[in-house]
Amino acid sequence: MVTRTPKQEQLPATTDVDEVAPGVIRMQLPIQFTGLGHVNMYGLLDDRGLAVVDPGMPGHSSWRAIEDRLRRGGFRLGDVHTVIVTHSHPDHFGGAQRIADETGARLVTHADFVVPWQVPRPDVIDLDADPGAPEGDPAAEARQVPRPFDFRPPRRVRMAILAGRVLGGRFMKAPKPTVRLAHGEPITLAGREWRAVHTPGHTPDHLCLHDAETGTLLTGDHVLPSITPHVAGFGAADPLERYLSALDAVAAIPGVDLALPAHGHPFHDVAGRTQAIKAHHRERLEKLQEVASAIGPATMQTFMQHLFPRRHWGMMATSETFAHLEHLRQSHQARRYLRDGHLVYALDPAG
């Protein structure tokens, strides 16, 4: 039996409350979500109380942890005047609306913030002609079909999507932002001016916050210290390209000395970490080309099973595979078409 050493983002939450930057404390909340063990709820302190960032999952146990961590830091719930949600995943927004309801705190997100079950069903997409169909066969003609996740993904993926849409709005209270920040817009936190940095890719609405005075960057899930953030295969024509461009934008911010991620420990060398993440995605793209050379045109599901170990097969792996395949298609290294109800990608092995 192989024993895997957990990465720091997978470690369970502690009850420690630590000052990690001037006027910024770190409080860890327990989560059990996609293999992660905690989410960092940061507190940005000022003379009015504090703003909290990413207040964990919905539910009673997470709520008790929020109250406990605030108490350990010397605060009450009523001291919270601002709630910031970096992006639209439930381990980040779960407690946000309840805090706002009970304290009157303003609720801050990126301008594009929307929870998954409120996203409209996507429109159709244009598929390329089936290169393997005989001349004159209808399959040889380009057509429009629903987005990939609307036709015959694995049953567990279909059930997860359905559960998210049906149960999400019933059991998770969607945040109602009172402040929606555009890219570059300032906000005063911890007595200093921070700037909004829109970093799409992990989600289309992902928000980082930069404090030039102390060289601090709240990175959310955009840049994590030891795991590679998931890239969602929706929300843009080429979500992977948007993510890679957003990594470059963050790396180019001058004077960043400290990253405060949503999972794992604070770290330095943001630029170096972004390069490591980009290298990981280049390796994934090369792997897809290798698979295509060996097996030829294949379904998204087949490519996913070659790209990820079995223990990771599922909705997130399928979504990220789609993001990489679409990146190759957008760069004219792949074509897609429909065969027997499945989305098929034909890659150019030469790249």
Local mean pLDDT, 10-residue blocks, the chain (351 residues):
80 98 98 90 98 96 97 98 97 97 98 82 55 50 48 44 46 87 98 98 97 98 97 86 98 98 98 98 97 95 95 90 95 90 81 47
Please check whether residue 169 is in contact with residue 117, taking contact to mean a CB–CB distance below 8 angstroms: yes
Q: What is the pLDDT of residue 49?
A: 98
User: What whole-number distance in Å separates Cα of residue 7 and Cα of residue 295?
Assistant: 33
Q: Please give the CATH architecture assigned to the domain spanning 118-167+286-347.
A: Orthogonal Bundle (1.10)
Q: What is the pLDDT of residue 124?
A: 47
- Residue 37, SS3 per DSSP: strand
Please check whether residue 260 is in contact with residue 24, taking contact to mean a CB–CB distance below 8 angstroms: yes
Count the alpha carbons within 13 Å of 59 in the hemisphere toward its beta carbon. 13
Domain covering 8-115+172-268 assigned CATH 3.60.15.10 in the classification: yes
Please check whether residue 149 is in contact with residue 161, taking contact to mean a CB–CB distance below 8 angstroms: yes
Closest-CA residue to 214 (of 193, 188, 186, 187): 193
Quickly tell me which residue has 């957990």 as its tokens: 6
User: What whole-number distance in Å separates Cα of residue 322 and Cα of residue 318?
Assistant: 6
Q: What is the pLDDT of residue 101?
A: 97
Q: How far apart are the first and last CA of the chain?
A: 38
Q: What is the pLDDT of residue 339?
A: 84
**pTM score:** 0.88
Angle 17-21-26 (CA atoms, 0-180°, nearest 5)? 25
14 DSSP assignment: P
Paired residues of 36 in beta bridges: 33
Cα dist from 344 to 127, 163, 273, 287, whole Å: 10, 26, 33, 17
Q: What is the pLDDT of residue 70?
A: 98
Count of helix runs (H) and strand runs (E) in the chain: 8, 17
Q: What is the pLDDT of residue 126?
A: 59
Please check whether residue 16 is in contact with residue 68, taking contact to mean a CB–CB distance below 8 angstroms: no
Closest-CA residue to 277 (of 221, 208, 207): 221
| Strand arrangement of the beta sheet that strand 80-84 belongs to | 17-21, 24-33, 36-46, 49-53, 80-84, 106-110, 179-181
Q: What is the pLDDT of residue 166?
A: 45
Domain boundaries, the chain: 8-115+172-268, 118-167+286-347
User: What whole-number distance in Å separates Cα of residue 215 and Cα of residue 257?
Assistant: 5
